[in-house]
Structure 1
Amino acid sequence: MMGTAEGPARLSIIVPCRDHVLTVAHTVRRCLALPVRVEVVVADHGSTDGSRRVLRRLDDPRVKVVLCDGAGVGGAVKTAARCATAEFVAIQDAGLMHQPEELPRLLGHLEAGDAEIVCGSRFLGCHRSLTFGRMLANRALNLFANVLFNSCLTDLATGCRVLSTKLLNELELSSSGPEFGAEITARALRRGLRLLEVPVTCVASGQDGEAAGGWAEGLRLLGTLARERVRRGDPLDASLDTLSRLDVYTRWVASWVEPYVGARMMEVGAGKGSLARHFIDRELLCLCDYNQEYVQVLRSRFRHAPHVRCDRWDITDPGPAEEFRAMGLDTVLSSNVLEHIEDDLLAVRNMKSVLAPKGRLIVIVPAMQRIYGTLDQAFGHFRRYDRTTLGKLLEESGLEVEQIRYRNRLGAVGWWVQGRLFKSRYIPATSVLGFRLLWPLPRLIDRLWGGNVGQSLVAVGRVR
């Protein structure tokens, strides 16, 4: 069954090429013959063997050829990704180590929502042609990656991947060499994205271009993995990853608000779902976040829960409120959101507007302006709150304040130490271990000496 040029492409196939004169034209033709609408973007990064003359003879509107001399295979993939127009993108080697006919199967898993990235593994199936040394080296790389990222990969260095074009561009890859594949995998694992490996055929053609790297390439791959493991990205994103590993803490936070949460609930600023999963038993759970990447993570995480809806919402924009209002929400929960918004009164009014009559708005915010420090600055906090300012904010928005209470007295001390004393910009990963060791001390301290001190304020307001 031949491919078709009619209609927009479902899949952009990136073919990085350097000195593949024997195979590149055949690779492109096999890609065009796939039973899905495709476009092929060939990224030539320095061929000197006549590959470019061969490519110029490919007279097909579905084929784009981009020249990126000196960019390396990773740079070629990045350049080609910016030219891709389909929703999904596949990476296909020009030397036919991987068979293009297997790409629709990988695409099917992606479109079915089985994963955010689908990788072809040479080691899951029985059809492969590798030397013993290369197989041994790949297994060593896989072991190293699995230890670093607590994963279970079988083929880190695969040259066969399918993912969304938007995601590939958002990963902002920095590697220009063949280690770009390891960088894709590492950044996806750090973000908590799902990777699915499916068996593919591997044929060493002599034109695959991959065997030339040898040990030098292997060392670059190891270096890339190590760099990505210790790399510090956005402080807020890193803190969400830290909290996602601290189930005992998020369960405790959920217990603060659980008595006030009704059957039809929205969480604003749901992040990656660490708190939302404790309310999965509600009749309706609507999860919103400003960050589209987090929305994708939420949709993936709760894909098997038909009563969970995930949407992007900037709560300073009242536009979507009418649609949410029709859902009959009796509870809106906002955890550590208002401090990020300059006009917090507008945000509260918009959240209140989606509630049904007598519905509740539950707000958790950072408390005590006097412990404001470098952590707050790194997280983009405009302010911390006290009981008076938070109560006034809710009343000005037209809510009847039912309760305002300080929580996590011990956490306030830790925040002051990290943000004021040590001038830290990240919540240290050691805090996860420390909290687990000290638990349930923070809860006991709150019960005995609550009062007017705490890392957080919890407020409950009811629609009049």
Structure 2
Amino acid sequence: MLPFTLPPPLGCSVPPKWDGKNFVIGDKCAPVLEYSENFAGWSDDLTALHEEAARDNHPIDLASRNDAVRQVEKFGRTVGSVIMEIGCSSGFLIRDLVKIFPEAVVLGADVVKEPLYQLAKSLPSVPLIRFDLLKCPLPDQSIDVLIMLNVLEHIENDGMALNKVFKLLKPGGVLIIEVPSGPSLYDAYDEELHHFRRYSAVELRQKLIKSGFHICRESHLGFLLYPAFAVVKLLNKTLLQNKNKAVVRNQVRKTSNSNIMLWALEFETKYLNRLRLPFGIRVLMSAQRPV
């Protein structure tokens, strides 16, 4: 049972019920509850492209997921709480959350379709919901901890998206968010991944505050790697005039097995994670809805 009631999907009059493995809607069962779609910022093909190149063990993605887990432990009420990841895709973080927080209710949500159905096969006990955040069907004040890793940059109206997230959280609930940093570094890689923008920490902070959030934590991921990363991005802007679908695949593959990247991120995680790092590859923030 879910601790809140979901509205009926389009074309149905009966509210869905979760039986522990499927959503039951009248006399039908579905492993994924579908409400709406929006392919302006992402697609199933992009999911396949990125995960073919990065798999589940790219150094920066591992560091990102580990950081998110630490933030849930630090700011979240994990016993009996409702933890949702928006943008769960193939569920790498969802698997960690289920394992580490067995007493929480863990949900996954995304706008993609095929990855959710594949995830439902491997994690049948996790409720998975497909919807466009701008048309969020979930009831207000239903989530304790909401995680969005590299999602907001895929949403054109990010201010509206943050307003929706604020309404979703219970009073005292926490948003754990990560976005790509460096607005001036937007390049062919970002364009191929359907990023509408990259962020500065100042911009993300201001947008969160405007939506009503209190900032609990602010930092960056990839602090030690940022100088080299910035050089690559600036070269991309100069050299990659003809955009092509090989940019993401080529650059992700080059860094997936990088021992230098792995060492730098492990060092950062071990020795620098309590500091407010002033720059990096990604902006990290935790923000709370006031009680």
Rounded to whole Å, the distance in 1 between the matches of 2:226 and 2:220 is 10
Aligned to 2:90: 272
Using the TM superposition, give the Cα deviation of residue 429 of structure 1 relative to its aligned residue in structure 2, in angstroms: 1.6
Aligned to 1:462: 288
Change (3 A) 1:430 1:247: closer
Where do 5+ consecutive residues of structure 2 fail to align?
1-20, 23-43, 241-245
State the TM-score, normalized to the length of structure 2.
0.69
Aligned to 1:285: 106
Change (3 A) 1:438 1:345: closer
Q: Is this contact kept in 1: 2:219–2:279, CA < 8 A?
A: no
Give the one of 301, 317, 325 matched to 2:122. 301
Matched, 1:441 2:264: yes
Rounded to whole Å, the distance in 2 between the matches of 1:359 and 1:445 is 27
Larger Rg: 1
State the TM-score, normalized to the length of structure 1.
0.45
- Give 1:462's aligned amino acid: Q
Rounded to whole Å, the distance in 1 between the matches of 2:225 and 2:49 is 18
- Give 2:286's aligned amino acid: V
Using the TM superposition, give the Cα deviation of residue 243 of structure 1 relative to its aligned residue in structure 2, in angstroms: 3.1
Rounded to whole Å, the distance in 2 between the matches of 1:275 and 1:413 is 28
Deviation string 1:313-334 (CA, Å, 9 cap, x unpaired) is: 210113x121xx47x4210000
Q: Is this contact kept in 2: 1:240–1:271, CA < 8 A?
A: no
Aligned to 1:358: 172
Q: Is this contact kept in 2: 1:321–1:353, CA < 8 A?
A: no
Q: Is this contact kept in 1: 2:225–2:261, CA < 8 A?
A: no
Rounded to whole Å, the distance in 2 between the matches of 1:301 and 1:332 is 22
3-state SS of the aligned residue for 1:409? coil
Give the one of 54, 57, 70 matched to 1:259. 70
Please list, as runs of the form range in 1=range in 2, the aligned pairs for 1:219-234 lying within 5 A after superposition: 234=45
Using the TM superposition, give the Cα deviation of residue 349 of structure 1 relative to its aligned residue in structure 2, in angstroms: 1.3
Deviation string 1:341-386 (CA, Å, 9 cap, x unpaired) is: 1110111111221212200011100011122211111111111111
Aligned to 1:387: 201
Change (3 A) 1:385 1:362: same
Using the TM superposition, give the Cα deviation of residue 437 of structure 1 relative to its aligned residue in structure 2, in angstroms: 5.7
Q: Is this contact kept in 2: 1:266–1:288, CA < 8 A?
A: yes
Rounded to whole Å, the distance in 1 between the matches of 2:277 and 2:209 is 22
Where do 5+ consecutive residues of structure 1 fail to align?
1-111, 114-232
Using the TM superposition, give the Cα deviation of residue 236 of structure 1 relative to its aligned residue in structure 2, in angstroms: 5.2
Matched, 1:238 2:56: no
3-state SS of the aligned residue for 1:376? helix
Change (3 A) 1:370 1:272: same
3-state SS of the aligned residue for 2:88? coil
- Give 1:271's aligned amino acid: S
Please list, as runs of the form range in 1=range in 2, the aligned pairs for 1:302-381 lying within 5 A after superposition: 302-303=123-124, 306=125, 308-318=126-136, 320-322=137-139, 325=140, 328-381=142-195
- Give 1:268's aligned amino acid: I
Number of corresponding residues: 226
Please list, as runs of the form range in 1=range in 2, the aligned pairs for 1:13-412 lying within 5 A after superposition: 234-235=45-46, 237-246=48-57, 249-261=60-72, 262=76, 263=78, 264-281=82-99, 282=101, 283-303=104-124, 306=125, 308-318=126-136, 320-322=137-139, 325=140, 328-412=142-226
Rounded to whole Å, the distance in 1 between the matches of 2:229 and 2:46 is 14
Higher relative contact order, structure no. (Cα contacts within 8 Å, ≥ 6 residues apart):
2
3-state SS of the aligned residue for 1:385? coil
Using the TM superposition, give the Cα deviation of residue 414 of structure 1 relative to its aligned residue in structure 2, in angstroms: 5.2
- Give 1:241's aligned amino acid: E
